[in-house]
Structure 1
Amino acid sequence: MKHLFFYETELGIIGFAENGRAITNVIFGKHFNNTDYEEVETPLLKEAAKQLNEYLAKERELFDLPYTAAGTPFQHSVWDALKTIPYGQTCTYLDIAKQIGKPKACRAVGMANNKNPLPILIPCHRVIGSSGKLVGYGGGMDIKKALLALEKSKGDIIEI
């Protein structure tokens, strides 16, 4: 059985979904097609919320949760590259494209970033435009700015 549960955080309502073994989605707001999910808090979902709160309180930089993301091999290559961006640092879509060996695939990297089902856990918020400006984020630009500001004291984030 698949489960999901929503939590009130300082970023607003954030939900987690799981498949009985791993977290499958992080959801901003209550915008999620939950027909396949039962809204029940499980120990795994409770642990995900605990770790998110620790992250938001600057008590955690890495998440220690089982998670799985449904996607194409290209999307997985992008998401794997995102996981290498250290806490408190940013990189560009071009940096990610080069890292995965596809330097002309900046737009495709952006689309894969947009399809990331596990934002925050797979830190797509750490990717910025080549000009140093913030560009789209599935949770909205206010949340992206808040996440980058949260991590700012720990690393070298480009001023916006």
Structure 2
Amino acid sequence: MTPKNSRRGAQGITIYFALGQCSIGIVLVAQSEKGVCAIYLGEKPVSLINQLLQQFPHAILMGDDSHYEQLVAEVIGYIEQPLSTWRLPLDIQGTVFQERVWRALRQIPLGSTASYSDIAEQLGSPKAVRAVAQACAANRLAVVIPCHRVIKRDGQLSGYRWGIARKEALLAREKGQ
């Protein structure tokens, strides 16, 4: 999906999706022809599907395909055993700054954390702490773009699009607890 198509709500783009259950709730995984474009976490399937509809309002959404159920199983495996390597193609769409933040997040080692300030400094924009937080909030690819590894400067957990309890569980799992 091109950035232009993404801004237009994925008009004319076919996006396949499926839902699954894991230890931290329901998982929705969506894929365009380019790659995985959304991984959402939540409690209610309807809520996750509504998020997908809001993100891609003009896409042709296709569910209930057994191939994509296998994709969900792979994502769940990645969530449950974070030592596994992500090997599926991604369709990442964001602003230039968001994509820079998301690349930096993918460099945070498994079991480690970084502060919003650390990421802003790493990007050469030490005053862009809020912009880093906003990029984390805009992340559509839970776990794969590990915004759950970003914490406050004082070491405390802060907001997470899919809930603080999930953030805490993911971090504990990555640290082997």
Report the TM-score range of the alignment, normalised by the length of the smaller protein.
0.7 to 0.9
Rounded Cα–Cα distance in structure 1 between residues aligned with 2:52 and 2:174: 31
- 1:22 aligns with one of 10, 14, 35: 35
Rounded Cα–Cα distance in structure 1 between residues aligned with 2:52 and 2:87: 26
Tell me by how many angstroms 1:72 deviates.
0.3
For 1:32-111, what aligned pairs fall within 5 Å after superposition? 32-34=51-53, 36=59, 37-41=61-65, 43=67, 45-58=68-81, 60-111=83-134
TM-score (norm 1): 0.87
Point out where structure 1 has 5 or more consecutive residues left out of the alignment. Answer: 155-160
TM-score (norm 2): 0.79
Deviations 1:3-23 (A, max 9, x none): 111101111111011112300
Structure 1 runs (4+) greater than 4 angstroms displaced: none
Structure 1 residues 72 and 101: alpha-carbon distance in aligned structure 2, compared to 1, 3 A threshold:
same
Q: How many residues align?
A: 153
Kept in 2, the 8 Å contact 1:11–1:143? The answer is: yes
Point out where structure 2 has 5 or more consecutive residues left out of the alignment. Answer: 1-13
Rounded Cα–Cα distance in structure 2 between residues aligned with 1:151 and 1:112: 22
* 3-state SS of 2:171 partner: helix
* Percent of aligned positions that are identical: 35
* 3-state SS of 1:77 partner: helix
Deviations 1:90-148 (A, max 9, x none): 01001100111101110110000100111101111000000100000011011101100
- 1:8 aligns with one of 7, 21, 27: 21
